[in-house]
Each structure stands twice: as C-alpha cells, then as structure tokens.
Structure 1
Amino acid sequence: MTISLQDVRLGAQTPRVGRWPEYVSSAASEVIDLAASAGLILDPWQQLVLTHGLGEQADGKWASFKVSCWVPRQNGKGGIIEARELGGLFLFGEQLILHSAHEYKTAQEAFLRIRGLIEQTPDLDKRVNRYWSANGEQGIELKKSAGGGRLRFIARSRGSGRGFSGDLNILDEAQALTAEQMAALLPTMSARPNPQIWFFGTPPDDPAAWAYGLRDDGESGTQRMAHFDWGADLDLTNADDRRRALADVDLWYACNPALGRRIQEEFVTDEAKPSGLGERFPIERLGVWPPRASDGPKVLDLATWETQADAESQVVGDVAFALDITPNRDMASIAMYGLRADGVGHVEVIDQRRGTEWIVERLVQLKERWNPVAIGLDIKGPAGSLLLDLEKAGVILPNDADQPLYGDLAIPTAQEIGAACGQFADAVNQKMLKHIGQDRLTEAIRGAKTRPLGDAWGWGRRISSVDISPLVAATLARWAYETRAHIVTKPYDALANIW
C-alpha cells in the first residue's frame, strides 16, 4: 500500500500573521520555476512567501522594500532564501546580493548549499565566473556576459555591509540584529534603484532585541513591508499557555508548515518532554516571542520619586553600599542606603565616575570609614568581574552565611534581584524612600527600562536609554541593607575581653 502526501497530516501552509502591500503582479512564478530547474522544489508555504514578497508595482518596482519571515527552526526557510538568491543572480540582474548571518558557520553553510544547487545545474553553472572562499567570506560571481552579479556571504559585525551598495540584502538569524548593524546597512541601499531586504529568523532571546520593532511594523501593516509569522500567540508568563504549548498538537501543526513532511510529530513529542527542549519548547518549536522589555515608569512612578526629594535628608545609624557598572564599562556608580531618624529609607549616590579602575580602592575607603552592614554586588552583571579584586583588597564574602560580618559582600540571586527591584519601586510609590534630589539618579529613573526575570522583572542595563548604574546600585544597596541589617555581627575582638 502506498501512502501519498494527501494521506499525511501536514503543517499549516499559511501563517498566523500575514501582511503585505497591494501589488499588480508577482515575479515569484519565474523564481519558483528557476528553483525547480535546480532541483529545489518549494512547498506551498514557501511559494506563498515568495509570491507576496516579490509583488510588483505598476512601475515594475518591488511593492515591499522589507520582507520579514518568522518560522520555527528546520521548517525550510533556507529554501526561500536560496530561491530568492537564485532569482536575484539569474533573473533580476541584481548586481550585489549580501547574505549575512549572525554566525560565520551559518553563512558558510548557506554558501555551500546554493553553490551545490548551481553546480548541479549546468545551465546555471556555465554562467558563473568564479566561486571564492577566503578571509572569512565566500561568494559567487557571474560572468560579465551573464550580468556580472555577485552574491557575497558574510558574518555580521557592527560594520558589516557598510560601504557596499547592495540591491538585495538577505539577513538570516535576524533575531540577533542590532540597531548598530542596521544603521550600517540601510544607508547602503538608499541609492539603489529597486532595493529589497529580507529578514529571516526565530524569536530572540534578548527581550530588547531590535527585531521586536520589526515585528511591530510587520503586524501593524507598515507600508512597503511584507510580514509572515507562523509563531503561536501565547503568553509565556501564563502557566495555562505554557501547558497548552506542550500538549496542543493542533497548535504544533499550525506553527510548523513542514510538520508531517520534514519534521515528524513523534520528534516534536520528544522535544516537548522535560528531557527535550524543556522551557525552550514554546520558543524553539512554536515560535512564541518572549515578553518584551518595557519602560521603567510603568513600574516606578517618576512624579512620586520627584516629590520625595529632601535636600536635608540624611542617614542615622548603619548603612549599606552597592556598586554597578554600565555594560560597556565606561561608567560606574556606588550608592548608599540606610534609615533616617523617622524610619523612612534614604538612598544616595556616593560616587559616579568614568571607567572602573577606581572602584575597588573607593569601596575599601568607604568600608573603613562607614563599616557598612554589607556591600552589594551583582556577580552576574558587569560588576561581577571585580569580585576577585575586591576579595584581594579585603572585601570578601561571609565565612558563615548565617552570621555575616560588617563589611562583607552581599551577592543576590536572580530571584533576589527581581525582588529587590520590585521592593525598590514599591518603596518609592508608597513614599517610603527619600533622596537628596541628585540629577544623575533622577535621570537614571527617567530613562530606565525593565527586563523579564521569570515572573518578576529587573532593570535592563543594555536596553535603557541612559546610564542607569546609579539606579541599579541604589536598588542593590537597599536590598543589601534590608537583608543584612538585622543579622549582621561585628568581628570578634579578643582584646575586648582583657581587663
């Protein structure tokens, strides 16, 4: 008995989200036929993306300048890329095609695949002047009689693509794109008569990735943009949605157009098990976008913060310090927290300077002067690199976690960082935190953004619009005080018992 594809359940050939501008014709049929002549037979969903992505206006120009395609791994997005590049080289006369990926190995594999397609097709291969691979870059160049077009494969860096005026840009692994990379790339296309840029990817790990903006444009139906997303519309912070992702087989088929063809259901079943993809299953297999980073004022009221300024505010009694460094290590801050005479908290930035070389010496001075209940340090953040230097200078972890000493380090877990941020915001919003009106701290609050931390949130250093090291240090100083002030002890002094 022969089983045909009609007898096999297949994944959805249309996306959950599909947006494209109107067009009068499409160049896709020629591309699809060309790909077939090279042995690349495209699925209906791949043809759909090409059909709408290659829509043409009445003047012959592309209806879509940007084409964005998001589909889980191993479904066959590479086939769309290869077909589009074959069309660019052999049909459309595009003079420079840039194919970039986040990692060199991905770009290299893409080069080998399309080279194989061309070499096995004599009618195409005879038009090639040369294939090259050198200095971390590969490419294909056609003979001048065949148009002289070039297809280059590169791994992205901040300046990749700068200076190359490409007719077509293929951006694989688009989830890893940065604003800097796009700033280097987009101007190179502005002078081309009919440019086009294609984005392919899976949901990003970074909650502030540039790709979130691309998705927003695509879903809103931005002019001159085609957008396709097979990913499930689930909320990963919702337990019911997480459970549904693991159990809803219909959803699996809706998100994976190649399920039943290239991907087998039993394999996805294995991926859904705890020993498979685990918590990554909704993202990797169902294309669910993780929660996006949000603006700080949504969790911390700036107006309330400003009303809590008191130029005469000061601490009475014990204090705690904490430090933080910006991601690019160009600035660092040390903050202090303690209680006032009325029992209300007081926070203050003690020092903020460029660079990092001054921090250890300054903390040692503050420790000797104030004998703090603790010095807060987030070892998973940029300041974590100073742990060894601090320990060498005598700022150490407690020998006994249950009986920390004055001046010992206090290192939070990821869960405690989330709690510390929430508690800091609560203290401000409930008017239980005073400050002396320092502009650098207020500006940090004004420009701060948040990032998800499981079911909580934390300050997003890399995604905020300003230097938020004063705010991060202040939050950590408050946490260090609240967790240590009631249990800290002074070092035992044997001489104190000598009469």
Structure 2
Amino acid sequence: MSEVAAVLEWPEAEAVRSDFDRIRTVAARMGIDYDTWQQGLLWILFSRGSDGRYCCGQGGLTVSSCRQIGKTFTLGTAFFVKCMLSPGLKVIWTAHHTRTSDETFTDMCSLAQMPAVARHIDHIRRANGQQEIVFANNSRIMFGARENGFGRGLHGADVEVFDESQILTDRALSNMIPVMNTAPDPLAVFLGNPPKPGDPSDVFAAKRRQALDGGARGMAYVELAAPRDCDSDDREAWAVANPSYPSRTPESAIERMRQLLPEDDFRREALGIWDETHVSHAIDPDAWARAVAQGKPEGGVPSLGIDMPPSRDFVNVGCCWRAGDTAHIQLVQRIPATRAGEAVDWVAERWPRLASVVIDAQSPAMSLVPDLTERHVRVTVTGVRDIARACGRVTDMLAAGTLTHRPDTDQPQLAVAAAGATRRPVGQAGAWAWNRGTTDTDISPLVACTLAVHGAWNSKRNPARRQKVRVGR
C-alpha cells in the first residue's frame, strides 16, 4: 500500500495480525481476486493489535481517491465475506444519495446469488428504506441513503461504512456513530473523493487534516492521488492516481471524464487531487475569536439584514453598526416564523433610525417584503453579486480586525453559523458566498448579519439628517 498511496497514515507498529488473511482465502473460493493495492488496504482495515482489537477501531479507516477505482467493490466484497465468517455481525452501509446506495445494494445482491454463496443467505429484503441482506448465521448488511434520513433510530451495529463521505455532515455523523456504542469491537469506514467547493465535507476534511498533521493514532488514512503538479493528460499520472488503471479501469473511462469534465473537476474526480485552496470553514476560527467585543461602537449608524433558513423555521434579524471604517455585527432578533408579524413590527418601529433594511432576493424572507413595505419600510433587495461582495467584505474585515461581534455565549446561533459556514462559488470570476448547501447547519443568522453589512456600506440614507420642507407662499 505504501508504494501506491500519496498519503498513508496508520498505526503500523501496533499491528500483529489481520482478519484479512482469512477473508482473502474465502473470497478466492468465491472467485474474487484482489489486486495488490486492494490486499494492502484490506490488511490495514482488518489489522489487529496485541490486545486483539482493531488497530483503527478508534478513528476508523478513511480512504480518499478518484472515482472508478473500485473502492465499493473492494470494501463491499470484504464485508460480505466478513459477515459470512462472523455470526451476528451487523454492518450498516450508507451513501449520501439514494442512487449510490441502491447501486451498492444491487451489487451486493449479485454476490448473494452466486451458487457458492447462496447457502449462506437467509433472505434479502428489497423494500425501499429497508434494504438488507440477512445471512443464515444472523449477520446482516443494511443499506440506506443519508439524504432520506437513514440511520436515525437504528439500534446497534458493529460496522458502519460511510460512502460518499465528501458529503457527510457532522450532524449526520453524530446521528449514526452512537449506534456502535454497544459494539464490542466497532469499526468505521469513510470512503470519498476530494470534495468540491461548497460540499459539506467537514468530517472528511477533518480526517485528512488529522492524518497530515500526524495525529493518526487509532485511525488509518489512505489517499490515492496523482502529484499536484502533474499534467492532467499524462497517462502515468492516471496510473499513479488509479492503481486499477488500465487493468480494471479502462483508459476510455478516464478519457471520457477528461473530455466532459472541467479541468478542476477532472483533477478531483479522475486524479484524486484535493483543491489546494479548499478549507472546511469559510470563516477563520482564529479571526472570529479575535473579533469579540462587548458592544457596538460609539456613534455607529445601524443597518438591518433579514434572513430565514430554507426550512423557514425562524426569522433572523442581524444588525451592523458602522462607524467610519469599522463595524460591529450582532444577531438582534430570532423569532419563530409562526410569529413573523412580530419581526415586521420590530423592524418597522426602528425604521426611522436605520440606514437600511436588506433582504436577499433568493431568501425565503422575501415573503416579508409586502408587509414591511406596507409599514413604510424601504427594503433593499440584493442579488447574487451583492451577497458575494458582502461575504468577501466580512472576511476581509475580520482579517483586518475592523469587524467585531458579541461573545459567542451571548449569541450562540450566530457562533454556530460562523463556525459551520462553507463557501459556494458565485459566477466564473472566483467570487463566492456563504454555502446554504446543507440544512444541518443553519447559516441564516450569519447571512442576516452579512446583509446588514452590505446595507451599512451601500446605503445613502442618513437617518440623522433632518428633511427640509419647503412651504409655499
């Protein structure tokens, strides 16, 4: 494995044996022949220390690679055989997308129907949401898609495989990991490709950072990738990234991706190369921590931003007090959407003293515009470019130390949003905005404050200025 992996971290010194030796023998009888790299990967996964427990039982095995390499076949067949050999073993296999989960289930069913295997199978359940293969020895493999909520409410598992881990949120993980709490010898596996910008990949990226930082104790991390500076058309780079090329993965499959995918996508999907600029957080946690202040600046002029999450659960009102080149942001209202009229009243009451009230054109909060207009509040509606510029301004000001916020303990919803927000690309010029791609983290408090920042820097309204009234003679 060390000869083909770009990154390999695992507690090698602790390994004294591996369950894979027996798995390989049984798999060979079924006609399954593993390549050298697959043998190395599975030996690591099933390796045990002198205490008899899995060497990577604490943090699991993480595999980052390009597509069409055979990860599902490698791990799927190994756990299939493991179930045959281990009475009562319970494996949960999840993917983010239903289609991926269904394809894996279909492939496993093909194994179950092999003549040499059929006697080991008790039955196969094919109902949507309840797909599973039950073995005669009471072992089972259950399949489901996380996008459909699969995993919640399950009781007890020995193994959990998280396919498509580049789309795995902390919330989804926290729903499922406790399922293994009572397992005597649990094992977790994370399979994925380098994430795209905007993917909710905090879990996957954190595993990679831990491995690169040398903190891989109790876990294993394998990254199969071409060199970062390689030529995308270099066939040798294709072979480095994909050890199954060209014997199992034909050249035509990679050529098809080369023709159809943009350059950045090809390097992620076909060469396994992580984006050099990829970060798990849009806001630098250190910069956010340094920006704590107890209150707004003296003489600041307030602007408000209003946003709602896609679930439409809450109305969030963010405020930005601008004083010269500095500003202070704060989540000043968070009201259940069932009482949205209270938010309208609250904003309308303060409108005479505000520089602006801003709502994004794509926000569910646009439903409040008619009521605000009826109350004589002039709402500024932003477009895609506006929100991108505002997001960039927020991060630039945080880095420069010219933007502050109240302590996280005073407004935990804003703190959670700032910690969980990622970036999504906007247009083709490198602009970006806060990512709303997952409902697991509610970023609407941050969006509301960001809209307020936009209003503070773009509104020409001065609430302190007295209007002159001309009286005719």
TM-score (norm 1): 0.74
Once residues 56 and 325 of structure 2 are traced to their aligned partners in structure 1, the CA distance between those partners, rounded to angstroms, is 58
Q: How does 1:322-401 map to 2 (within 5 A)?
A: 322-326=305-309, 329-336=312-319, 351-359=332-340, 362-363=343-344, 366=347, 369-370=351-352, 375-380=357-362, 384-391=363-370, 394=373
Query: Who is 1:263 aligned against?
Result: 249
Partner SS, residue 360 of structure 2: coil
Residue 348 of structure 1 and its aligned partner are, at CA, apart by 6.4
Query: Who is 1:482 aligned against?
Result: 457
Query: Who is 2:467 aligned against?
Result: none
Query: Who is 1:473 aligned against?
Result: 448
Once residues 180 and 350 of structure 1 are traced to their aligned partners in structure 2, the CA distance between those partners, rounded to angstroms, is 23
Once residues 182 and 17 of structure 1 are traced to their aligned partners in structure 2, the CA distance between those partners, rounded to angstroms, is 24
Query: Are 2:94 and 1:100 aligned?
Result: yes
Residues 139, 473 of structure 1: alpha-carbon distance in 2 compared, 3 angstrom cutoff: closer
Contact 2:314/2:336 (<8 A) preserved: yes
Instruction: In structure 1, give the amino acid aligned to 2:194.
Output: P
Contact 1:96/1:150 (<8 A) preserved: yes
Give unmatched runs, 5+ long, in structure 2: 462-469
Once residues 76 and 438 of structure 1 are traced to their aligned partners in structure 2, the CA distance between those partners, rounded to angstroms, is 45
Residues 170, 409 of structure 1: alpha-carbon distance in 2 compared, 3 angstrom cutoff: same
Equivalent position to 2:71, from 74, 77, 97: 77
Residue 36 of structure 1 and its aligned partner are, at CA, apart by 2.9
Once residues 61 and 357 of structure 1 are traced to their aligned partners in structure 2, the CA distance between those partners, rounded to angstroms, is 52
Equivalent position to 2:36, from 36, 44, 54: 44
Q: Deviations over 1:186-242 (max 9, x none)?
A: 3332333322222222233425522222223344352232221113564xxxxxx6x
Residues 92, 58 of structure 1: alpha-carbon distance in 2 compared, 3 angstrom cutoff: farther
Give unmatched runs, 5+ long, in structure 1: 1-10, 235-240, 396-405, 487-495
Residues 438, 304 of structure 1: alpha-carbon distance in 2 compared, 3 angstrom cutoff: closer
Residues 169, 457 of structure 1: alpha-carbon distance in 2 compared, 3 angstrom cutoff: same
Residue 172 of structure 1 and its aligned partner are, at CA, apart by 1.8
Once residues 114 and 339 of structure 1 are traced to their aligned partners in structure 2, the CA distance between those partners, rounded to angstroms, is 60
Q: Deviations over 1:127-149 (max 9, x none)?
A: 22222222522222233xxx332
Query: Are 2:172 and 1:181 aligned?
Result: yes
Contact 2:305/2:319 (<8 A) preserved: yes
Equivalent position to 1:225, from 214, 219, 229: 219
Contact 2:320/2:329 (<8 A) preserved: yes
Residue 34 of structure 1 and its aligned partner are, at CA, apart by 2.3
Q: Deviations over 1:466-498 (max 9, x none)?
A: 987555434323323434529xxxxxxxxx999
Residue 278 of structure 1 and its aligned partner are, at CA, apart by 4.7
Contact 2:18/2:47 (<8 A) preserved: yes
Query: Who is 1:148 aligned against?
Result: 138
Query: Who is 1:252 aligned against?
Result: 238
Partner SS, residue 123 of structure 1: coil
Partner SS, residue 197 of structure 1: strand
Residue 50 of structure 1 and its aligned partner are, at CA, apart by 0.8
Once residues 408 and 179 of structure 2 are traced to their aligned partners in structure 1, the CA distance between those partners, rounded to angstroms, is 43
Percent pairwise identity: 23
Instruction: In structure 2, give the amino acid aligned to 1:28.
Output: F
Partner SS, residue 322 of structure 1: strand
Query: Are 2:108 and 1:114 aligned?
Result: yes
Contact 1:31/1:83 (<8 A) preserved: no
Contact 2:309/2:444 (<8 A) preserved: yes
Residue 254 of structure 1 and its aligned partner are, at CA, apart by 1.6
Equivalent position to 2:270, from 281, 285, 288: 285
TM-score (norm 2): 0.77
Q: How does 1:273-312 map to 2 (within 5 A)?
A: 273=259, 275-290=260-275, 291-294=278-281, 296=283, 300=287, 303=290, 306=293, 309-310=296-297, 312=298
State the superposition RMSD in angstroms: 4.3
Once residues 53 and 124 of structure 2 are traced to their aligned partners in structure 1, the CA distance between those partners, rounded to angstroms, is 30
Equivalent position to 2:391, from 414, 421, 441: 421
Residues 13, 44 of structure 1: alpha-carbon distance in 2 compared, 3 angstrom cutoff: farther
Residues 288, 360 of structure 1: alpha-carbon distance in 2 compared, 3 angstrom cutoff: farther
Once residues 53 and 407 of structure 2 are traced to their aligned partners in structure 1, the CA distance between those partners, rounded to angstroms, is 56
Instruction: In structure 1, give the amino acid aligned to 2:305.
Output: A
